[in-house]
Chains A and B, each alone.
Chain A
Amino acid sequence: MIQVNQLSKTYNETTVLNINNLEIPKGQSFGLVGNNGAGKTTFFSLLLDLIQPSTGNIINNDIQVNSSENWKSFTASFLDESFLIGYLTPEEYFYFIGDLRHQNKADVDALLAQHEEFFNGEILKNKKYLRDLSKGNQKKVGIIATLIGNPEVIILDEPFANLDPTTVSRLKKIIKELADNPNVTVLVSSHDLQHTVEVCDRIVALNKGEVVKDIQTSKETLQELEAFFAV
């Protein structure tokens, strides 16, 4: 599904990301872990053509992301709050995204109903604009919005951060469901090794922009990762 070739990103002669070759097959749930500055967000930004690669390229479903825009029709993402439109209510935001992905109101409503538990009664019909929601609730809106229109690739940057414990476990359930769908490729980044191990089939650890671990998740994965990051 996603093929990374000779990809690197350099700022003022400092290489922040350098991935020679990485292939993410269709249907995989892919976890990206690493310390601050490891290059996780840089990688996602490159994948979404928000920044330009210094060398190499990324191919998303046969489409090279920095030369064609056609990947946008099947890729959904939530990196941070700058993906939210502050002056809209959550409902309006969902419908806006729905319109852009050619979903009618009923489709969106059906999806929202499905995730009512995740919202925990704090999102819908609350007479608040997105800008006035707490960080955690904003995140809930952003995450669910990526599910609108059945995208084939879903990219979530640090989805577990800022969420309360209950929501974290509900989010894990959602991501696991997505992972079980053979048509959906999920990419998740996190600082939290345990959460990532729980929801992902495969985990790649980045350190200073380089891939330092690439493992299929098993019982020993968590220990292996903890040992790696413990200094």
Chain B
Amino acid sequence: MIKKFIYLEWKAFTRSASFGTNLAMKILIGFLMAYFSLVFIAIGVGAFYVLKKMKLEPLVTVNQFLIYYFLLDLLIRLMMQGIPVLNIRPLLVLPFKKPTIVHFSLGKTALSFFNWVHALFFVPFSIVLILEGYDVTSILLWNLGVFALIYINNFLNIILSNIDKLFVVFVGLLLGLGAAQYYKLFDITLFTTPFFHGLYASKILFLIPVIVLIGLYVFTFKYFKNNLFLDAGLSKKEDIATTENLSWLNQFGTLGTFLKNDIKLIKRNKRSKTTILMSFIFLFYGLIFFGNSHQPPVMHIFAGIFVSGGFLFVFGQFVPSWDSSYYQLMMTQNIPYRGYITSKWWLVVIATFVSTILASFYLFYGLETYLTIVVGAIYNIGVNSHLVLLGGAFTKTPIDLSSSSGAFGDKKAFNVNAMLLTLPKLLLPLLLYWTGLHFGDKTLGLALVAGAGVLGFIFRNKVFSIIEKRYKVEKYSTILAYKQKN
């Protein structure tokens, strides 16, 4: 029976629309995965000696930070780890036992990248510990406990992913705990370290996470099994619709028509709504770089671009895929292509502008820092906004907006490909800024980046013509690709 499932999964994987077209992307991801695996292993091996050098007891120190490790892990999972959806509906009436279907769905999640990636750190770390003379049995039990906790996160993610607001709660919790510890108000690790260290020190404490894991699995299993009906877990959530006129946009003519539609698109679909949240998080990206003397100054422009460009990167990247489900309609309506592209461009520009205003809290770090962000915004508006639209002509991955199904629905909005596509858009300003720094000072660097932005803005019409032409050339293959959404 399981064989049949694996057969189906394999077919689904190899025949998905994105598999063929994005082979280059898959290879790139493969390289990145290999790279990060090596980094993880290196950290696992090196952590012991580095901590030792810092005159800290390695195992205790690791145990101290495990609470943050697990919280962060859960957060990343909530954001990125999709719930593998078996195509369950057609299986219900076939001679499969329900428990088999559920066990397989859950079992599949256990093999996820998000679980085994941890082994890359913990296994080498443990081997070093054993080689350094720690008790073998205790280390093994400690590992058992840690992996039970990792899998607890795995199943928590499955159960919790249906609750939208939880993500924000966890971000708040993590930031709050971190801040409290940093300012020495409250140190959670004082309470959690004895437990994590107990996994090693006592021979029975590991049973707690293992038992919790078993309990959680049983709970998840029952929850899914009970929801395995068309009108329960497999049902579509229907929203109560409200008609909005947004008539104040009428004054902008065709542009207003499209903007109205885009606003509704963002507001009413889970996937696009997440982009707003993401662009908000991007606002704080600069905190890593500014006021941090460990980062090379050339990275400041990197942050400058990111702070205002969140929306550009997470939404703009997928134009026109947002309209993929009704692309045929768009292609048969009385629509000038240019009007369509222009409206998307305005949307990105408005969002960049708003982000720049919101980012004014960076003035706290001084005028120069904020200036970097403004320059980043100019570059985003002048150059990157065109680049994402141009890239859009080649993005032929349809977006299924309506994937708001019940317990089995895959609702993850964020994907790795999106992040990869942003890299080229960052290298050019980085190069310009570096040139400026190298041959002059900061001001020259900023001027070069801003200049590139202004130039892009001046030649806007020319660039739009190129983009328009590209979209027309790609029209038929785009329509074809968007048809294969299922």
Q: Is B269 touching A87 in the complex (CB atoms < 8 A)?
A: yes
* A101 CB-CB contact with B under 8 Å: yes
* B14 CB-CB contact with A under 8 Å: no
Q: Is A86 touching B334 in the complex (CB atoms < 8 A)?
A: no
Residues of A within 8 A of B462 (CB): none
Q: How far is the CA of A95 from the CA of B246 in the complex (A)?
A: 12
Task: Tell which of B35-43, B99-107, B236-244 binds the partner.
Answer: B236-244
Q: Is A82 touching B327 in the complex (CB atoms < 8 A)?
A: yes
Within 8 A of B (CB), among A110-145: 126-129, 131-132
* B24 CB-CB contact with A under 8 Å: no
Q: How far is the CA of A8 from the CA of B160 in the complex (A)?
A: 54
- CB proximity of A11 to chain B, nearest CB, Å: 11
Contact with B along A50-89 (1 / 0, CB 8 A): 1110000000000000000000110101011011111111
* A109 CB-CB contact with B under 8 Å: no
* B265 CB-CB contact with A under 8 Å: yes
* A99 CB-CB contact with B under 8 Å: yes
Set B261, B332, B335: member contacting A85, Cβ < 8 A: B261
Total interface residues in chain A, CB < 8 Å:
33
* B219 CB-CB contact with A under 8 Å: no
Q: How far is the CA of A75 from the CA of B333 in the complex (A)?
A: 8
Name the prevailing secondary structure of the B interface residues.
Answer: helix
* A48 CB-CB contact with B under 8 Å: yes
Q: Is A51 touching B476 in the complex (CB atoms < 8 A)?
A: yes
Residues of A within 8 A of B242 (CB): 89, 127
Set B240, B332, B401, B482: member contacting A83, Cβ < 8 A: B332
Given known pairs A82-B329, A96-B261, A132-B236, the reply for A101 and B334 (CB within 8 Å) is: yes
Residue of B nearest to A142 (CB): B329
Contact with B along A89-100 (1 / 0, CB 8 A): 101100111011
* B264 CB-CB contact with A under 8 Å: yes
* A210 CB-CB contact with B under 8 Å: no
* B257 CB-CB contact with A under 8 Å: yes
Total interface residues in chain B, CB < 8 Å:
34
Q: How far is the CA of A132 from the CA of B332 in the complex (A)?
A: 24
Q: How far is the CA of A43 from the CA of B413 in the complex (A)?
A: 37
Given known pairs A96-B257, A129-B241, the reply for A84 and B326 (CB within 8 Å) is: yes
The residue in A48, A80, A83, A101 that gathers the most chain B C-beta atoms within 10 A of its C-beta is: A83
Residue of B nearest to A77 (CB): B332
Set A50, A87, A132: member contacting B479, Cβ < 8 A: A50
* B331 CB-CB contact with A under 8 Å: yes
Residues of A within 8 A of B261 (CB): 85, 88, 96
Residue of B nearest to A76 (CB): B332
Within 8 A of A (CB), among B250-282: 254, 257, 260-261, 264-265, 268-269
Given known pairs A51-B476, A73-B334, the reply for A83 and B328 (CB within 8 Å) is: yes
Cβ-Cβ contact count across A and B, 8 Å cutoff: 88
Q: Is B483 touching A82 in the complex (CB atoms < 8 A)?
A: yes
- CB proximity of B60 to chain A, nearest CB, Å: 52
* A49 CB-CB contact with B under 8 Å: yes
Residues of B within 8 A of A89 (CB): 241-243
Q: Is A97 touching B326 in the complex (CB atoms < 8 A)?
A: no
Q: Is A92 touching B332 in the complex (CB atoms < 8 A)?
A: no
- CB proximity of A83 to chain B, nearest CB, Å: 4
Residues of A within 8 A of B240 (CB): 127
Residues of A within 8 A of B483 (CB): 82
Within 8 A of A (CB), among B144-186: none
- CB proximity of B3 to chain A, nearest CB, Å: 33
Q: How far is the CA of A80 from the CA of B333 in the complex (A)?
A: 14
* B295 CB-CB contact with A under 8 Å: no
* B325 CB-CB contact with A under 8 Å: yes
Q: How far is the CA of A83 from the CA of B254 in the complex (A)?
A: 19
Q: Is B325 touching A82 in the complex (CB atoms < 8 A)?
A: yes
B-contacting residues of A (Cβ < 8 Å)?
A: 48-52, 72-73, 75, 77, 79-80, 82-89, 91-92, 95-97, 99-101, 126-129, 131-132
Sample 21 A-B pairs with CB under 8 A, ordered by A number: A48-B328, A50-B479, A52-B476, A80-B328, A84-B326, A84-B329, A85-B329, A87-B265, A87-B402, A89-B241, A96-B260, A99-B254, A100-B254, A100-B257, A100-B334, A101-B333, A128-B241, A129-B238, A129-B241, A132-B236, A132-B241
Other 20 A-B pairs with CB < 8 A, given A82-B325, A82-B328? A48-B328, A48-B332, A49-B332, A50-B328, A50-B479, A72-B335, A84-B326, A84-B329, A85-B329, A86-B401, A87-B269, A92-B244, A100-B254, A100-B333, A127-B240, A127-B241, A127-B242, A128-B238, A132-B236, A132-B241
